[in-house]
Structure 1
Amino acid sequence: MSDHRIVITGASEEIRQRIYRARHRVYALEIGQHSPNPEARLTDALDASNRYLVAMDGDELAGFVSITPPGEAGYSIDKYFGRDELPFVVDEGLFEIRLLTVMPGHRSSELAAALMMAAFRWIEARGGSRVVAIGRREVKTMYLKAGMSDTGRSVKAGAVTYDLLHAGIATLRGTVDRKRKLLDRIEAAVDWQLQVPLRKPASCFHGGAFFGAIGADFASLGRHRSIINADVLDAWFPPAPAVMEALREHLPWLMRTSPPTACEGLVAAIAAACGVPESCILPGAGSSDLIFRALPRWLTPRSRAVLLDPTYGEYAHVLEKVIGCRVERFPLERADGYEVNIGKLVEWISSGPDLVVLVNPNSPTGRGLTAAEIEVILAAAPSRTRVWIDETYIDYTGESVERLVARHENLIVCKSMSKAYALSGMRVAYLCAGQHHLEELRALTPPWVVGLPSQVAAVKALESTSYYVRRWKQTASLRDSMARDLRKLGWEVIPGSANFLLAHVPEDVPAAREIVAACRERELFLRDAAAMGSHLGERAVRLAVKDAVTNRKMIEILSDIAGSTDRPGRASMTTCAS
């Protein structure tokens, strides 16, 4: 490709006319598929319904590709093959790629691969399930490398032989996922101006598989009574009585009434609870809302971020898959109980990354940092480095650093009220930071970002401190009891400080994924933690702490599945669950 970046975009009508002339030059004059004509242009009936994607080198047409969507007009392959002889189904998911053309002067580049990628992404983003093409035999290898299969059928058109190729979108996606270096080169050389991104945005996996057993259509909500949803970290206890009373008394009105536009009452209640000015609080509909709202605004693909490894996966997803910035993972070692080595972390941070994310207590490990340790980290961070502390589980330990935002201008605290306040379904969270961090985010915050029932529930929860403190203390006791029972099963339990536990199952029982799958058959949902870190291995399980009765049932199920009662030296189930 040329020294400057080539633009890949959709073709305008004026560009289409240039494509028709280019088609004549290439397909009639150069390779002899068609006879030359006096108009010096080639077009056909499919041009009424197809889409052209083009590569423009300044004002010069460098290449193009045509996409024929499903529809009454049919496909170009219909001219050569009967549909009954095709080795694939022709349905509403079939798209055709044709006329992949690179003009002279650009054929030594990777422009053909870029146009092929553009066509694939265009089709994939529109729900296509299969792609068909007739590729010129001389360049068939390019189609095969892209993941397409040769059907063994061919056709001669003028002086040119074409081979019939096809592939499922899933197959092509697998091929693309393995060609990261090619994607990097295309990104460096091309100004991608299609309505779909070059890289398919990845979805972020969370726990919550349990809802499949209930039904996402909400037709059988009563099933929740028989399911143990320990794959998510929702509170085992109900919201405070004051929360329930307010909702019961006023719910019809709350549901039909617009809330305060900027959550003014909620912001005031949060600020009072944190001991900071209201200008230091930005509300959101759960911490995910705030993560997705703030980080893409503050960071670019040129930014550098530091994450703990393992940690909550949404941060890596947003930083790597959404923003595309460079992520450095600070390793937490099993041999050290996944504790954070403050001295080593300070060395990493002193190099001046744009962002440091610390989930405290961390998930999935449950290990926490003290406020004093976080102050050491803040002191080491250069002024340009934002230090983001996720305190979703901090109330279980009582070590919040929200008040430190007055002393540290680079500190941002992200706090969800989902877990510790039993409000996961309400989706309430906030950022606590200097107002200089929040100013531009306020302009991106829609009015009524938190619903009225949720605002009322959160305010009443903040007024019920004594109730929640009792519940947090109960959670610690339940967690410690569950840890003891898991150790009796031979599991290596990481000492945590939140409402969950990370444990490694012994070598003589099935791996985590097998245990998780077997538990689902018993309506117990756990989290295989393997994907939450780069070296957790295949034997790490994260479990949410529930009430005492439910915890005993979980231990019974795990004992049965792991076969612990049959292994010498292991306590019987009667002993562990009593």
Structure 2
Amino acid sequence: MSDSREVVRGLLRPQFREATPYGAPQLDVAVALNTNENPFELPLEVAEAVAGALREQVPHLNRYPDREFTGLRKALAAYLQAQTGLSLPIESLWAANGSNEVLQHIMMAFGGPGRSALGFVPSYSMHELISVATGTQWIAGRRDEHFDLTAADARAQVQEHDPDIVFLCTPNNPSGTALGVDVIEAVLAASRGIVVVDEAYVEFVRPGTPSALALLGGQPRLIVSRTMSKAFAFAGARLGYLAADPAVIDGLRIVRLPYHLSSLTQAAARAALEHSDALLANVEELKSQRDRIVEGIASLGLTPVPSDANFVLFGGLSDAPATWQALLEHGVLVRDVGIPGHLRVTAGTEAETTAFLNALAAVQR
């Protein structure tokens, strides 16, 4: 076995020979707060609607799905209009199997060998991993000591590196910090290529926090990526989407695999979007638990980062890996994101939040 591993390792692309797969621990614990999942199961009415939609599709699985997923794009357009007031044509919408595949499509179409992508770290690690996987040079930009990014700093870094693609994550993962519109506008003005604004956690932002969707008009290089995994409690269904100029969508068609969204995925997502109010009903509760986590962590003398997402990054730990292990021994699983002295915890139910805060208090004694 060791010989075969060495043989295959030698055949891998050089940049992958020392790499490890992406993934958070999936452990059997009482309180799992490490992957930013929505802790609430689908309401019964939604579960029944999804099941009914899937049942309708099963007899027809001998046929390929709608390659253009027209019905789903109409449903996404209706959802975005209800949430933001913006009327987007379906030609401006795209979807795939989770926002990671959406990002992969972007990088396959606009990145690749001889091109570069800039991200401001720490941020979502898949931006770098997908860039590397597509042969795109990754450039690690910087944030300040509070994990913030100003318009002036972002502009200067774009001008310094002149990337083909820029990633902006807002709210940012793992810090939870949101960007001002001025930052996005500054990057668009300074760059010559694609600007991807990753809004995976946008439904959790505090009042008054803007979305990049409002900037789409007249900005053919802007892409806004979102997901149904988090606020929609739909992580297991794998549905991500983006909004962009129709010309961008035409580029994505070139690189996507044929019929990449199954009939079952399309049906499930459409059914969920028809019940978006029920699925989003717990968002305010999760925001409340997030704020409770921030207050509880601060009361223990630690340093939480103000968050606009459904998670909280906190620092002040003398030994983050040891704290992670101690919390696990108390039945609570959080995320070690590799930032010295910091851990990240997802906002859970009231009971889960209580369990985390009690465990953290015990560990900090």
Tell me the TM-score normalized by structure 1.
0.56
Structure 1 counterpart of 2:92, from 274, 280, 284: 280
Cα 1:547–1:456 change in 2 (3 A) is same
Provide the rounded CA distance (Å) in 1 between the counterparts of 2:181 and 2:14.
Answer: 42
Q: 1:187 corresponds to which residue?
A: none
Q: 1:549 corresponds to which residue?
A: 351
- The residue type paired with residue 49 of structure 2 is A
SS at match of 1:235: coil
Q: 2:323 corresponds to which residue?
A: 515
Shift of 1:458: 2.4
Q: Does 1:197 align with 2:17?
A: no
CA contact (8 A) 1:247 1:453 kept: no
CA contact (8 A) 1:243 1:457 kept: no
- The residue type paired with residue 357 of structure 1 is F
Cα 1:240–1:277 change in 2 (3 A) is farther
The size of the alignment, in residue pairs, is 351
- Bigger mean CA offset, 278-287 vs 295-304: 295-304
Alignment of 1:148-297 (within 5 A): 196-200=12-16, 202-207=19-24, 209-210=25-26, 212-213=27-28, 227-239=30-42, 242-255=45-58, 257-258=60-61, 259-274=65-80, 275-297=87-109
- The residue type paired with residue 371 of structure 1 is V
CA contact (8 A) 1:389 1:413 kept: yes
Cα 1:263–1:506 change in 2 (3 A) is same
- The residue type paired with residue 455 of structure 1 is Q
Provide the rounded CA distance (Å) in 1 between the counterparts of 2:220 and 2:234.
Answer: 30
Q: 1:341 corresponds to which residue?
A: 150
Provide the rounded CA distance (Å) in 2 between the counterparts of 1:528 and 1:376.
Answer: 32
Shift of 1:432: 1.2
Structure 1 residues without counterparts, runs of 5 or longer: 1-91, 96-119, 127-194, 214-225, 531-535, 565-578
Cα 1:438–1:250 change in 2 (3 A) is closer
Q: Does 1:355 align with 2:165?
A: yes
Shift of 1:408: 0.6
Provide the rounded CA distance (Å) in 1 between the counterparts of 2:78 and 2:257.
Answer: 23
Could you list the per-position Cα deviations for residues 341-371 of structure 1 after superposition, in whole angstroms to 9, with x for gaps in the alignment? 2111112224532111011100000000133
Q: 2:137 corresponds to which residue?
A: 326
Cα 1:197–1:376 change in 2 (3 A) is closer
Q: 1:389 corresponds to which residue?
A: 197
Provide the rounded CA distance (Å) in 2 between the counterparts of 1:506 and 1:428.
Answer: 36
CA contact (8 A) 1:262 1:447 kept: no
Shift of 1:482: 1.3
Alignment of 1:6-21 (within 5 A): none
Cα 1:346–1:368 change in 2 (3 A) is same
Shift of 1:312: 0.5
Q: Does 1:375 align with 2:192?
A: no
Provide the rounded CA distance (Å) in 2 between the counterparts of 1:301 and 1:244.
Answer: 44
Tell me the TM-score normalized by structure 2.
0.87
Q: 2:127 corresponds to which residue?
A: 315
- The residue type paired with residue 542 of structure 1 is R
- Bigger mean CA offset, 228-237 vs 441-450: 441-450
Shift of 1:411: 0.1
Q: Which of the pair has more CA radius of gyration? A: 1
Q: Which has the higher contact order (CA 8 A, sep 6+)?
A: 2
Provide the rounded CA distance (Å) in 2 between the counterparts of 1:343 and 1:280.
Answer: 30
SS at match of 1:291: helix
- The residue type paired with residue 308 of structure 1 is F
CA contact (8 A) 2:151 2:182 kept: no
CA RMSD, aligned part only?
A: 2.5
CA contact (8 A) 1:262 1:449 kept: no
Provide the rounded CA distance (Å) in 1 between the counterparts of 2:54 and 2:96.
Answer: 21
Could you list the per-position Cα deviations for residues 289-335 of structure 1 after superposition, in whole angstroms to 9, with x for gaps in the alignment? 1222220332233223211110010111122x32344333222233x
Structure 1 counterpart of 2:333, from 525, 528, 534: 525
Shift of 1:454: 3.2
Could you list the per-position Cα deviations for residues 471-521 of structure 1 after superposition, in whole angstroms to 9, with x for gaps in the alignment? 2222221111111111122211001011000001343xxx11112223333
